[in-house]
Each structure stands twice: as C-alpha cells, then as structure tokens.
Amino acid sequence: MITIQNTKLKATFNELGAELTSLTNLENGKEIMWSGNPDFWGGQSPVLFPTVGALKNEQYIFEGKTYELPRHGFARRRVFDIKESSENEVIFELKSDEESLKIYPFEFSLEIKYTLIENKLTVSYRVKNLSDKEMYFSLGAHPGFAIDTENGMNYNDYEIAFSDDEKLEIHPLVDNLISNETKIVELENKTLPLSYELFSKDALVMTTMKSRELILKNKKNHHKIIFTFSNFPYFGIWAAKNADFVCLEPWQGIADLENHNQELAEKFGILKLEKNQDWIADWAIEIE
C-alpha cells in the first residue's frame, strides 16, 4: 500500500488498479472512503479503462475482429508501476503489454496522479496513444464515499446538491446496457435527497448533466465534501443495495446502448486519439 499525506489529509492506495482505498481527515480522524465491505461491494475507487460499463455480450468488434472485455475494462485488475512519489503526491502508470494487446489492440500509457493540497485531493488522468494507428477508449472514475449511519445518523440524512441542474435526465440500465429511453428525476432546489430506494434499479446514468460541482452533505451535522471534475461529459451516481456509501462517477464513455452494433469505433461516447496524442481529465474532492 502507498501513502501520501499533509497536515489535513492522509490518502492510501493499492498498486493493484492504482486504487484509492482510504482518505482520512486528520483533523477529526474521519474516514471519507467506503470500507470496501465485500458483502455489499468490494470496490472503493476503481479506475474504469479502456471501457466504462458493460459491453454487449462482453464483446466488441475492431477492424473485423471480435474481442472480449469484462465490465469496466481491465485496468482495475492490473498492477500499476509507481512512476513518481513524494510526501503529498504519487503518480501511477500502466502501459500496454503482450497480455493487454490480446484483448485491447492498442499500445498506450495511462498515468494517474494523486495530489494533496490542504484539505483537497486531486486525481488527474493522462492517456497517451503509443500505437501507430488511431486509438479508441473510454475512462471513468468510480469513487465510493462513506455515509455515516452511526450516532443517530441514517442514509436519508444525506443529500447531493448540484451546481447547475434543476432536474436530471436518467438513462435506465437494462441488463447492464443503456436503455434507449430516458426518465426525468426532479430535484428539490437543485438537491437530490439520498435513500436506499434511489438505487433500487441500479445506477443513475446521465449524459446531459450540466453541473461540474456536486456537494455531498449531511443535513444534520453539515459535514460535506465538494466534488468537482473537468473533461468528463457523463456522470453516474450509484450505491449497492442497502449499503452505506454513494459513488460519484465522472465518465468519458458509458455502457453500450441496447441496440449498439458492437463496433468499437461507433460506440456512443468513445474517444479517438491520434498517434502520440494525449487526453487529460481530472476530479477532486475538498473536505469541509
């Protein structure tokens, strides 16, 4: 496990998947991240690459050949190298190899940089195409934040405030694929109350959300985290059934649409990088 810290925060990571496994507020000892209890969901903050969500039949087609990829891709199951590290910053790197090329025919570099500044953690991604051809990919974050249900608190005491949305247009999931239909979830003063029932039919998937700042807050004690992100056009909000966490998930790409033809280059939300081109995006949480 790798640790960085400053006077406000301490963050711990697993080289497997370059996953953020703990973020502790050193001023009060409070753990910000979900515990990873496998009875509900064993993840904590997996990196979704080179696909986000499920592929139709767990397969895609590229240049006439069919490949298989698991849900959310393979990066979360790979050990990253530590490219650089200091007291309050670490950079992980994953590069293509013989095994990855069998299921994803592109040479690439994926860097993930975690930086602590005061009471804020910033997570930055850089994907570079090292192939001699165009590269197609998606990338998503999947951090799960703990919901305090002790000391008289419960899940319904929490809410998510949106900076720029009065309502949310949701794409329902059907067998892990994106439905062709949408539904509207009305917000209360740009705020979504949390409840276990909210996720009874899986994640809330949005492709038209305008907000780039969300605030997860407790209505009783006013504890909150401010979540910001850039260069991620899509967003998901999810929790496992009856579990005391919520995931705030900025994405570049989503699961396959129900009627997708499985061609990778024609997948909704897929990104194309030219040779030697970079793609950069980030998200951050500020603890208050």
Q: What is the pLDDT of residue 216?
A: 98
Q: What is the pLDDT of residue 142?
A: 98
Looking up tokens 């194309």 gives: 272
Q: What is the pLDDT of residue 275?
A: 95
Is the domain covering 2-287 a CATH 1.20.1440.20 domain?
no
Distance, in Å, from the CA atom of 173 to the CA atom of 161, rounded to the nearest integer, reads 23
Q: What is the pLDDT of residue 266?
A: 96
Q: Taking the model in full, what pTM does it have? A: 0.95
Flag residues of the chain having pLDDT under 70: none
Instruction: Give buried/exposed letters for 270-281 (b at 16+ CB in 10 A, else e).
Output: bbebeeeeebeb
Q: What is the pLDDT of residue 223?
A: 85
Q: What is the pLDDT of residue 180?
A: 83
Cβ atoms of 182 and 261 closer than 8 Å:
no
Cβ atoms of 274 and 129 closer than 8 Å:
yes
> Across 2-70, where does the E strand assignment appear?
2-5, 9-14, 19-25, 30-31, 47-48, 59-62, 65-68
Q: What is the pLDDT of residue 258?
A: 93
Is the peptide bond between 50 and the residue preceding it cis, with omega within 30 degrees of 0? yes
Q: What is the pLDDT of residue 152?
A: 81
Instruction: Tell me 33's DSSP state.
Output: B
Report pLDDT digits (tens) over 174-214.
Answer: 989 999 899 999 999 999 999 999 999 889 999 999 999 99
Distance, in Å, from the CA atom of 107 to the CA atom of 65, rounded to the nearest integer, reads 17
Domain ranges of the chain: 2-287
* Percent of the chain whose predicted confidence (pLDDT) is above 70: 100
Distance, in Å, from the CA atom of 64 to the CA atom of 263, rounded to the nearest integer, reads 9
Q: What is the pLDDT of residue 151?
A: 79
Q: What is the pLDDT of residue 20?
A: 98
Q: What is the pLDDT of residue 237?
A: 98
Give the residue among 90, 55, 91 at the shortest CA–CA distance from 70.
Answer: 55
